[in-house]
Amino acid sequence: MDSKGFSSIVGAIFMVLIVCSLASAYFFFTLSQNTTYNEAVRERNEFDAVRMSEDVQTSNTVYNVNNGVVSVTAKIFNIGAYSINFSTIWLRVTGDKNAYNYSRVNTIVSAGGTLPITANLKINGLSPNGNYNFAAWLVTTRGNTFALESLRTNNIIVAQTTQGIGSLAMDFQNFTYYQVKLMSGSTYKVDFTTGINAYNVLQTQAPLAFCVNFTNLDSKARDIILNQNSELFSIFPSTGGNYKAVTWFIVRVNPITGEIQPFSGQCLNYTVPTLVYFAAKAPSSTSSFVAVNDMFTGTCPVNLALTGTIGTSPFGQNIPFVSVFVS
């Protein structure tokens, strides 16, 4: 019945409760922080795994100087398992002048996809006739750096181009075909994930889109515009001295989604490597393609019959020298 003793007991109870509350709060805070730390480590490990899996091949790099601006073009092939977002491109110039510069690109290449890239970087003091060496790197948003292939392109030697048969040079090493697939409704696309070297063609994968990388090396530096009658065709020999032909007409392809769009001409700028696709069964078609039963099997020569304009003049060129085996 001692009031002082009772108040001491109540005070002790409150003290224990306060200590327990503080201990519980500290325990849960520590648990929360540990969970946050583990989550951050897991996310970091996943980020590093994706970053290390980024892998790119580049080709057809061209540097062109005009009024102190270096135009850099290249073809990018994403051979990794994830999409890659390129944020910037860096350029180094050595020789008569040593300088650096960079430019934002913000270009995304899907896994297994290819994409042409173009960047213009201003470097004061450059002249078209200068003696320069160029090097460039692409930087991804994940922090990786990929060098573009080294190439000197101050002067184009005519003997190294197709000038003997025309102004367009074809990259024979990267002649590729893809499957054409339905996107939605009546919209079709070139499936960039199905790219295969086109020197061996599987008939059963039709409809197909053939991809050719052209570089315009016109001696007068004129742009070339291909029209809807440009075509890729193959000729199959048969018994009895007859020949069977299959034709794929030029199409316009969205470089990001692969969507086959209405054709309005394909511009080939001077010295800029450009991917051109042939898939349609008729000129300007976006929904009719060469089917399996339209094709034949065996070895056949392939020709590119190209028509359009060069500058303000009519243009026409045939590129042979390619044979494929269809099985």
Place of tokens 């742009």: 223
User: Residues 35-53: what's their mean pLDDT?
Assistant: 74
Written as six digits, the tokens of 184 are 């939605």
pLDDT of residue 11: 67
Looking at the structure, tell me whether residues 99 and 189 fall in a common domain. Answer: no
139: CATH: 2.60.40.10
Place of tokens 């006739």: 129
Could you list the residue range(s) of the whole structural domain that residue 29 is in?
1-49
User: Residues 68-87: what's their mean pLDDT?
Assistant: 84
Number of domains in the chain: 3
Confidence band for 240, pLDDT divided at 50, 70 and 90: low
Positive or negative, the CA dihedral 288, 291, 297, 298 is positive
Last residue of a domain, one of 131, 155, 179: 155
pLDDT of residue 292: 67
CA pair distance 133, 130, nearest whole angstrom = 10
Looking at the structure, tell me whether residues 172 and 273 fall in a common domain. Answer: yes
pLDDT at 257 over 80: yes
pLDDT of residue 128: 62
Looking at the structure, tell me whether residues 93 and 221 fall in a common domain. Answer: no
pLDDT digits (tens, 9 = 90+) for 276-297: 899 888 888 887 877 767 677 7
Confidence band for 152, pLDDT divided at 50, 70 and 90: very low
Looking at the structure, tell me whether residues 111 and 222 fall in a common domain. Answer: no
Looking at the structure, tell me whether residues 311 and 197 fall in a common domain. Answer: yes
Q: What is the pTM of this model?
A: 0.52
DSSP symbol at 259: B
Looking at the structure, tell me whether residues 169 and 90 fall in a common domain. Answer: no
Asked whether the beta carbons of 70 and 126 are under 8 A apart, the reply is: yes
User: Residues 287-316: what's their mean pLDDT?
Assistant: 80
pLDDT of residue 60: 76
User: Residues 143-164: what's their mean pLDDT?
Assistant: 56
91, amino acid identity:
L
Closest CA to 205 of 281, 290, 115, 288: 290
Last residue of a domain, one of 120, 155, 190: 155
User: Residues 33-41: what's their mean pLDDT?
Assistant: 75
Looking at the structure, tell me whether residues 200 and 82 fall in a common domain. Answer: no
pLDDT at 180 over 60: yes
Looking at the structure, tell me whether residues 100 and 234 fall in a common domain. Answer: no
Looking at the structure, tell me whether residues 318 and 173 fall in a common domain. Answer: yes
Alpha helices in the chain (DSSP H): 3-53
CA pair distance 121, 90, nearest whole angstrom = 9
Q: Which region among 107-111, 160-164, 188-192 has the lowest average model confidence (pLDDT)?
A: 160-164
pLDDT at 57 over 70: yes
pLDDT of residue 157: 41
pLDDT of residue 154: 43
Looking at the structure, tell me whether residues 143 and 188 fall in a common domain. Answer: no
Looking at the structure, tell me whether residues 169 and 145 fall in a common domain. Answer: no
Confidence band for 177, pLDDT divided at 50, 70 and 90: confident
pLDDT at 162 over 50: no
Looking at the structure, tell me whether residues 182 and 296 fall in a common domain. Answer: yes
pLDDT at 184 over 70: yes
Per-residue CA distances from 207 to 6, 203, 251 (Å): 93, 9, 13
Contacts of residue 83, defined as CB under 8 A and 6 or more positions apart, other chains included, come to 108, 109, 110, 111
Positive or negative, the CA dihedral 56, 62, 63, 65 is negative
